[in-house]
Amino acid sequence: MTRIVRGLCFLLLLALAPAGWANDAGESQGSLDKEMEDVKQALVNLKRDLVILEEDLLFPASSQVSVFLSMDVGEFFQLDAVTLKLNGKEVTHHLYTKKQVSALHRGGVQKLFVGNVKQGENRVTAFFTGRGPQGRDYRRATTVEFDKGFEPTFIQLAISDDTGDYQPDFVADVSN
């Protein structure tokens, strides 16, 4: 928090300083450019710190749950949409483009949801909609129940191919 306040004070001083100060001191254009780059970097760092602070305030570890989605291969299932319910209430719905599905096939992981839940027993249900084997419409769900403690909870939803029965497999895994 102190770093953020110092950064804001620094930026305020820069904004209030007369433009001629740097040239009066005999500094060259190169050093002025360096100072501008330093200011830009300070702004980037300040923005990062503010985002982290905001996330800590909005989603404290004692109630935070994050849900991620990944895919493996995808020969038996083409993903169109995911709907996520937390304790029976819909919290997110996402429609996928071909580029997004391609990114998931290449090993990408999507953050579907970050939110707060009560401590104790909770349930997450994910509904997957897409095209299954032989191009037919396919809708499947997976549910995971977890006991929320004081640490952040992470739920990994994974779609993979089960080559044994030529069907997609939908798995949910919880980690604290």
Query: DSSP states of 81-127 as a string?
Result: EEEEEETTEEEEEEE--HHHHHHHHTT-EEEEEEEE--SEEEEEEEE
Report the pLDDT value the prediction gives residue 91, as an integer from 0 to 100. 96
Nearest to 128 by CA among 162, 86, 166, 169: 169
What pLDDT does 81 receive?
96
Q: Assign domain 64-175 one CATH number from 2.60.40, 3.30.460, 1.10.3470, 1.20.120.
A: 2.60.40
What's residue 61's pLDDT? Answer: 72
pLDDT value at residue 30: 76
Contact 63, 114 (CB under 8 A): no
Written as tens digits, the pLDDT of the chain (176 aa) is 555 556 555 655 555 555 555 455 555 677 888 888 899 999 999 888 888 787 777 767 778 899 999 998 767 888 999 999 999 999 999 999 999 999 998 999 999 999 989 989 999 999 999 998 777 888 999 999 999 988 889 999 999 887 777 788 888 999 87
A 10 A CB-CB count for 76 gives 20
Dist CA 3 CA 82 (whole Å): 40
pLDDT for the residue 21:
52
